[in-house]
Structure 1
Amino acid sequence: MKRLLRLPDLLRLSLVVLTALVFQNCTPEKIKERTDETLNMTDYLRANPEYSMFLEILNITNYASFMNTYGTYTLFLPTNEAVKQYLNDVGVSSLKDVPLADLQNIAKIHILDQKINTTSFSDGKIAAPSMYGQYLITGAANINGVSYTTVNKTSNIVASNVEVGNGVIHVIDKVLRVADKTLAQTIEADANLSLFTEVLKATGWYDKLNQPLSYDPNKEGSHLTVLVQTNEVFSKSGFTTLDALKAKYSTSGDPMSATDGLNLFVQYHIVPKLNYQADFATTPVFVTKAPLEVISSKLIKGQIYLNRDEFAGVLEEGVAIVRELSDITCSNGVLHCVDGHFSIVKRLPMPVYFDLCNQPEFAANVANYRKPGGIQFGYALGGFSEITWEGSKTLKFSWVPNNDAWNGDQVEVERLRPTGLKMVTFTTPVIIKGRYKIWVSYRSNGSASNEVKAFFNGVQLSRTINLRETANNPNGTGAITDRVLESQGYKRPMYPFKVTSINSRLVGIVEVETTGRHKFTLHSDADGGQAWFDVVEFRPVDMDQIWPKFKGGLAGAGGFVTRAEAPTDN
């Protein structure tokens, strides 16, 4: 031992390292049992032979490499048995016999460019589209007493939320198929829609619904949404032939004419853009292809109703979307089936409650948007499709949770002032032509701007907003009744009232000259910090401006309280 201590330091260090290596090599190797802890998707497939056939698809299409890179993806992963069934369905014996373009489409329809766990699924479309561009639809099914989450109504998820290094995997028992039939072809293929098909052909709309998807310079797709009626629905209303429909609706004798009544009947069943049931559940009014004609939409106890409205105290029942026969994705749009006959009805002005948080970019953040425990997030200028502003390009427009606000959230304009975000412009939902009072709901902030101007389609409205003003407390010493408060241009929009509640200011009256979407702007020339807004209300001038009030928080999401339901005015 003394000899060892007399050795030079460098030599002693080398002997210590060598000894450690010898002992390490004699220690049993610890095998990492979990292959999905850090592996990226492609390596995970390589490590699990039960998914080798989908791995072969990725290899053939050259997608294997990018699915192994850093990112946040969701993969709906078919088992080998599912791929074998696909091969049997298309009549080939191996993946090499499938055209490359088909395999590329198959790969892309199974991949989303976002990480989405099943906790973010709803009974409808997933918030983010597949890499093919089509949305996937989730639902629920009970098979032999076992509950499954379904995808596109054909595949069952048999293993979910498998975490990998670059996202999450959901294993499915059937290969998803790309929707390659047009709206017209899909309708014609259903024998129960034969009369609707005849009407489409008689009016020239079959050819229009048979066009391939195209995009304009702004990358806006030519998607259409069609609301179809089955033969049975037509029959219940007394229409069993095309001639019967012509006799009822054709006004010119030429159904091909865009102004003919039968042509307008078809136009009224077609809505621009891609709208799934989830969209009908959250958007109150939709413009149709019939000029200046709209369809209203309401979600009542889980059922979506179209044109279910009350006028002059009389309830129009409307028609319901048949859930199980809807959300049918086509190559150029989406198809829904309704349970009743409907046609153009003259529309009076209707209230529009524009929750400023209803932005597609916010909704795409499925981890936080309207989720319990969701945290604030936002985007800078250029990050929104329906919001623009003048001023800073680096300050953010953000989603903020607030349990006192409608739907449990509010928007934050970071520094609404001349040296910050000076002027923010929103694209409204569809507003039916008519005369409206406009109310802006906000959460007060003692350091916010005390002079915010409002504009409708570029025209300044008559009143300004002082974002430092709090809502009048109906239980305080300075309490004012609802009606007196309204006469002063204010109201308490939430029920029940809380001292931290939202305030609302009447900013003016406008004449909406055309039915459609419009521009609403908030502008500040005064200094101020963060500005928090909730809802912009467009209420017809002859409507009660106070009731219904809004329910606050996620628990009451989208809900209202009527005067009859409220024991007091506060």
Structure 2
Amino acid sequence: MKRFNLITKMGLIVLMSIFTMSCNDDDTVKTPETIAEIAIATPGLENLVAALQRAGLVDVLNNTGTYTVFAPTNAAFATFLSANNFASVNDVPVDVLTQVLLNHVIATELPSTSLSTGYVNTLATYADTDLNLSMFVNTASGVKLNGVSNVVTPNIEATNGVIHVVDAVIGIPTVVTFATADPTFSTLVSALTTLTPATDFVSVLSDTNAEFTVFAPTNAAFSALASVPEEPTLTQVLLHHVLGANVVSGALTPNGTTTATTLQGNNITITLPGTNGNIANMTDGSGNSNIGIIKVDVQAGNGVIHVINKVAIPNLNS
């Protein structure tokens, strides 16, 4: 009888052990749900996961909330690391890596059907401020981000948002990034490059250690000119659209005027609020006061762009 009881007890212990192991196995094979969990479980995103871990952002993407994450593939990260002379993500300074990763995250859920051509804000920030960097989304043919990265696998659903896999790391943009990515500025880009070869505007405005405010005329603004001036004059016209500081719309005098000196040397004056549907009105160095600021605060890593509907002309006789 004692032997029977002993065998019975041993059998119960074995059965309990098997049951316990089964429960533990179920716990460890949990279906990925959050953005971070899905990234960890997805082949081809190992470099992204390593970067998130190094930057301490895994917990952020495990949090409840709604995010859109543009997730670079391993190949995308390899290209980024090579281009910046890093052997691995562990060689990238944490503060730099953090901002680059945050530049892939939007604080709202945007499935592909909600993406449209225009600007959105990422979680990356300008310098030591709380100004969020902008991202230009172009949906003319697929989805392209800042002119450099394409969505290759959209709409991976998570409990806290959505993932779109991309084929290139989206670096911190400069004001040149947005000028070249946004087709609204194609004439401006031509003016800054092929029409003014004696001045390397691209290198100047790509300087990540500088600060700029660019009042960017649209293609329509250039089309309204009787003619685009020759290079010596055009160079001065272009410089008249740039300030040597990052001046966002919130820094302008509300219900009043703000005067600033451009890199060309003449002042411009900005008046809030604007008229005729403009956010603000601008007066150039020649006294033209009918220039409208029609979009503000496209924030780059080295400055900010405000869009204007007419070309500003300096007073070249002063």
User: TM-score under structure 2 normalisation?
Assistant: 0.58
- Alpha carbons 1:196, 1:229 under 8 Å: kept: no
Match of 1:293 among 289, 293, 298: 289
2:230 corresponds to which residue?
Answer: 240
1:109 corresponds to which residue?
Answer: 103
Query: Percent sequence identity over matched residues?
Result: 21
Partner SS for 2:116: coil
Distance (whole Å) between structure 1 residues aligned to residue 65 and residue 83 of structure 2: 33
Distance (whole Å) between structure 1 residues aligned to residue 27 and residue 108 of structure 2: 32
Matched letter for residue 169 of structure 2: V
Once the two structures are superposed, residues 126-164 of structure 1 have per-residue CA deviations (whole angstroms, 9 ceiling, x without a partner) of 3x443431122211254xxxxx21112211111222121
1:111-190 paired onto structure 2 within 5 Å: 111-126=105-120, 128-132=121-125, 133-142=132-141, 148-180=142-174, 190=192
Return closer, same or farther for 1:329/1:228 CA change in 2, 3 Å cut-off. farther
Match of 1:54 among 33, 38, 48: 48
Distance (whole Å) between structure 1 residues aligned to residue 27 and residue 232 of structure 2: 72
User: TM-score under structure 1 normalisation?
Assistant: 0.35
Matched letter for residue 194 of structure 1: T
Match of 2:196 among 194, 197, 204: 194
Distance (whole Å) between structure 1 residues aligned to residue 198 and residue 217 of structure 2: 10
Distance (whole Å) between structure 2 residues aligned to residue 190 and residue 245 of structure 1: 8
Match of 1:80 among 74, 77, 102: 74
Tell me, which stretches of 5 or more residues in structure 2 are unaligned?
1-11, 126-131, 181-188, 237-258, 314-318
Return closer, same or farther for 1:241/1:149 CA change in 2, 3 Å cut-off. closer
CA RMSD of aligned residues (A): 5.1
2:38 corresponds to which residue?
Answer: 44
Return closer, same or farther for 1:227/1:189 CA change in 2, 3 Å cut-off. closer
Partner SS for 1:192: coil
Return closer, same or farther for 1:240/1:87 CA change in 2, 3 Å cut-off. same
The number of equivalent residue pairs is: 248
Please tell me whether Structure 1 or Structure 2 has the larger radius of gyration of its CA atoms.
1
Normalized per residue, which structure has more helix?
Answer: 2
Once the two structures are superposed, residues 211-247 of structure 1 have per-residue CA deviations (whole angstroms, 9 ceiling, x without a partner) of 637xxxxxxxxx65422779x979961621435898x
2:211 corresponds to which residue?
Answer: 212
1:540-559 paired onto structure 2 within 5 Å: none
- Alpha carbons 1:182, 1:330 under 8 Å: kept: no
Matched letter for residue 226 of structure 1: A
Return closer, same or farther for 1:92/1:75 CA change in 2, 3 Å cut-off. same
- Alpha carbons 1:188, 1:197 under 8 Å: kept: no
Distance (whole Å) between structure 2 residues aligned to residue 196 and residue 233 of structure 1: 23
Return closer, same or farther for 1:189/1:47 CA change in 2, 3 Å cut-off. farther
Once the two structures are superposed, residues 186-220 of structure 1 have per-residue CA deviations (whole angstroms, 9 ceiling, x without a partner) of 97994236389799xxxxxx9xxx9637xxxxxxx
Partner SS for 1:115: coil
Cα offset, 1:98, TM superposition:
2.2
Matched letter for residue 334 of structure 1: I
- Alpha carbons 2:195, 2:231 under 8 Å: kept: no
Cα offset, 1:62, TM superposition:
1.4
2:216 corresponds to which residue?
Answer: 226
- Alpha carbons 1:224, 1:333 under 8 Å: kept: yes
Return closer, same or farther for 1:192/1:286 CA change in 2, 3 Å cut-off. farther
Once the two structures are superposed, residues 490-511 of structure 1 have per-residue CA deviations (whole angstroms, 9 ceiling, x without a partner) of xxxxxxxxxxxxxxxxxxxxxx
